[in-house]
Amino acid sequence: MRSRVRSSSTRRRRWSLTRYFAFVSVLAMAALGCALVWVTSTVMREQAINDGTAAAESVMAYAVAPLPASAFTEGQLTPEQNQAVKDATAPFGDKVVDLRLWSTVGVLLYSKAGAETGFPDTDRNNAVLQNGVPDARVIVDVRESEEGDAPSEQRQVLDVYVPVLMSNTSGAAPAGAVPGSGEPIGTAEVMLDHTASAAALRSAIGTVALVVSGGLVALWLLLFRTVFTTSKRLQATALENARLALLDSLTGLPNRRLLTERMTKTVAEAQRDGARLGMVLLDIDRFKDINDSLGHDHGDELLEQVADRLRKALRDEDVVARLGGDEFAILLTDVRSVADAEHLARRVRELFGPPFKLGEMSLHVETSVGVSCLPDHADDASSLMRTADVAMYAAKHHRTGVATYSPEEDHSSPARLVLLGDLHRALDPEPGVARELELHYQPKVDLDTGRIVGLEALMRWRHPERGLLLPTVFIPLAEQSGIIHRLTRYALTSAVEQLAAWIAEGRSTPIAVNLSAHDVTSGKVVDVIEELLAEHDVPAALLEVEITETALVADPSRVVPVLERLAALGVKVAIDDFGIGNTSIAQLRDLPVQELKIDRLFVTDLGDGGRESAHVVVQAMVDLAHSFGLRVVAEGVEDQITAATLRRLGVDQAQGFLYSRAVPPDEVTALAMLPQPRRTTTRTPRRQKSG
């Protein structure tokens, strides 16, 4: 019962366009018609009263013309004056129902009806005497019939009080009055027969109402027909658009929306029956080049032929759809295994073996095909489509033609998205909650003295569920998602705050912070560093930054200006992982850097049993760096033999597990006792930069 009532109320709310227009427009037209009739009738009534008032003033003028002004003061007319008034107003005939002349004190001087006594409407009479403006009102006049048994006569009359001014009368002015002035000396109450005027007014108003109603009805019918026709046309267009919205306009295949609807239904049936579904996604390799070189007309023709081949080659129960551009999808509704789905995908790719005829041209086309299955790789329609898309791009990237979904290729898996959400939360911890992201510090040791001369800051993430995570887990995720800049600012802020704390304790060990390739292509990182150093009053010489050689080579035109700004600020710059990039000698000579860090790949080969060629390479790096006045640091030092070899080759500093792993700030003080490298050989003297 409740659902029926709710359904009924829903129907009442969802009116059609024509029904809504009919309801609203009828109300609007009725209101407009009433307003027009009311305004018109009001104007006509006012005009009728104005005309009656003008007639009453004319009657008053004729009536008082033969009277002296003193008659209004004396309050009585002589028989001759009475007859004079009667004769003067005789031409008005029965139009004047009654005429009464009143003195200023309300004494009746004259009455056409023959009344000898009476009283005026005191309020109206006084108002007219005071402001000198006539007062007209429509009233019902009741008079007894001349025949005694007949009922009283009732008729509408226009009762007008008109001021009598001295200028309207003749003869001498009353005592105290100013001759020739417009001062009221009495009033004339003129009652005009209003029956005919009222009837004419009603007839006119009726005519106006009829004309307005007819006009508005005609206008409404015209508007309603227009709206009705337009509504029908819109409905037909909407139905056609709804049909076209489910089909691709070029190929006639189902589009993404229809495929999604079919997938949702088919997946639900497969999960209920325990069946397996396959999804095949394919796109045409280098389709953009085909469009650019042959034109979009040929590109569209190619897509139509591809759709035709797919439609004819697949089973009736399979769904072939065009997702957009050069991307097609095939929903395999009945597959026995993942291998079976992959076999079908390879058969689909074989359809592209024969060339396509585009006019007089034969064109060979290659495709990349991705395959995924439910429930093997996905558990719903959305994830089935996504995993097939991942597989397709893996096939394109590895140039394998066909690829089946593999979690190793999935860089946007739900687990990674959850970890990304956790990383966002870790970067903005709530007040009072312990920080999850923290910096650990690994010492840089001078190979001559064995003393700590610097620290490299390495970020760690104490995940509440996954434990301590190393940068290799979340740094690539931050770079891919675009939040690496926030992570870099977090690291710089923590490092500068730590420097300020150690300065307050009387220590001044420089800290090096790694910058991503995304950071050093924009000058914003320099602004951040300058702001932090000024805020915490930390000397720029205590902060170092490290960038990879790969980042430097990738875009030197944008990176070098950033390094120059850092050098001008007083922040030391080091090239990390040196040796695996393609930095030229000319670039190295002109770069504003102070330190080279030899990649651990070369350092590892220097250990016991290492290759002699590794010694030669490292020696060349050291000689090159020293010739430009650069300091050399070796990474990944894990044993005494490697440390001794590095010292013999002229390396200035080293870091690695031989000395210490990266430790929290409160453990840095325990690193004072470090193992001393054995000095069994004489160190190669450092070359000085020429010039």
- pLDDT mean over 91-106: 87
Whole-number Å distance between alpha carbons of 529 and 496: 9
- pLDDT mean over 246-262: 84
CA dihedral 278→284→285→291, nearest 10 degrees, is -160
Co-location of 235 and 338 in the same domain: no
CATH of the domain at 297: 3.30.70.270
pLDDT at 229 over 80: yes
The whole model's pTM is what?
Answer: 0.48
Assigned domain for 6 exists: no
How high is the pLDDT of residue 632? 92
Assigned domain for 387 exists: yes
- Give the angle 91-120-42 at the CA atoms, nearest 5°: 70
How high is the pLDDT of residue 135? 92
Cα separation of the two ends of the chain:
97
Residue 676 banded pLDDT, cuts 50, 70, 90: very low
CATH of the domain at 120: 3.30.450.20
Cα 676 → chain centroid: 63
Co-location of 103 and 190 in the same domain: yes
Q: List, for residues 337-396, the tens digit of each pLDDT value.
A: 888 889 888 988 888 888 888 887 888 888 999 999 988 888 888 888 888 988 988 888
- pLDDT mean over 68-76: 83
Co-location of 222 and 207 in the same domain: yes
Assigned domain for 9 exists: no
Co-location of 573 and 510 in the same domain: yes
Of the ranges 166-170, 247-251, 540-544, which one carries the lowest mean pLDDT score?
A: 166-170
Average pLDDT of every residue of the chain:
82
Among 330, 416, 45, residue whose Cα is nearest residue 204: 45
The Cβ-side half-sphere exposure at 431, using a 13 Å CA radius, reads: 0
Co-location of 556 and 482 in the same domain: yes
How high is the pLDDT of residue 181? 54
How high is the pLDDT of residue 522? 81
Whole-number Å distance between alpha carbons of 282 and 392: 7
Q: List, for residues 446-504, the tens digit of each pLDDT value.
A: 998 889 999 999 999 998 888 888 888 888 778 777 788 899 999 999 999 999 999 99
Assigned domain for 638 exists: yes
pLDDT at 542 over 90: yes
Co-location of 262 and 225 in the same domain: no
Co-location of 194 and 336 in the same domain: no
Q: Which pair of structure tokens corresponds to residue 380?
A: 């719903």
Is residue 536 within 8 A of residue 500, CB to CB? The reply is: yes
Residue 582 banded pLDDT, cuts 50, 70, 90: low
Co-location of 180 and 264 in the same domain: no
Residue that finishes a domain, picked among 188, 219, 243: 243
What is the extent of the structural domain holding 361? Answer: 256-410
pLDDT > 90 in the chain, percent: 18
Q: Which pair of structure tokens corresponds to residue 208?
A: 């106006």
How high is the pLDDT of residue 673? 43
How high is the pLDDT of residue 230? 81
Q: Which residue has the higher pLDDT, 675 or 493?
A: 493
Assigned domain for 378 exists: yes
How high is the pLDDT of residue 223? 84
Q: Which pair of structure tokens corresponds to residue 423?
A: 């990383």
Residue that finishes a domain, picked among 379, 410, 441: 410
Co-location of 367 and 491 in the same domain: no
Residue 417 banded pLDDT, cuts 50, 70, 90: confident
